[in-house]
Amino acid sequence: MTRRALKLTKLPGFEEDVLALPRKPHDIAKMALERLVFIRDGAIRGVPLEDHAGTGDLSDCYKLYFDPVPTRKPRYRLVYRYTPNEVQAVALEAVSVGEREGLAVYLQAAKRLGRDTH
């Protein structure tokens, strides 16, 4: 049985996140979008997030770390979730992406999902 590809959607503001990612010396925006395709196709999967006082309830979301330099600690985070879809059972929704600096990506995700606690 062949698995149908998930529909890929994005929350408002995600495109701005992607445009803000560095292009040189590596195209981090392209990497982020490639990771979304890999997630959609089932080739990779992130780690579930939880409900934390510092970021709000992101327990229906996942995080994926990535970096163009495989030998260093990943500097970028991608937050996404699976959502119900009328045509297919589930769709993949891009929530936020950015540098792995503090909790900024998670706080942005919570804000976009209407769960901002700050």
**CATH classification at residue 36:** 3.30.2310.20
- Domain coverage including residue 39: 7-102
Q: How many domains does the chain have?
A: 1
d(CA 31, CA 34): 5
d(CA 24, CA 96): 20
Q: Where are the alpha helices (DSSP H) in the chain?
A: 14-20, 28-40, 104-112
What tokens were used for 44? Answer: 């990779």
In a domain, 93, yes or no: yes
d(CA 4, CA 92): 12
pLDDT for res 3: 57
In a domain, 109, yes or no: no
What DSSP designation does 24 have?
S
pLDDT for res 4: 64
Per-residue pLDDT of the chain (118 residues; tens, 9 = 90+): 455 678 899 999 999 999 999 999 899 999 999 999 999 998 999 999 999 888 889 999 999 999 999 899 999 999 999 987 655 567 899 999 999 888 999 999 999 999 876 6
pLDDT for res 67: 95
Token look-up 């990497």 returns 31
pLDDT for res 101: 83
pLDDT for res 86: 58
In a domain, 117, yes or no: no
In a domain, 108, yes or no: no
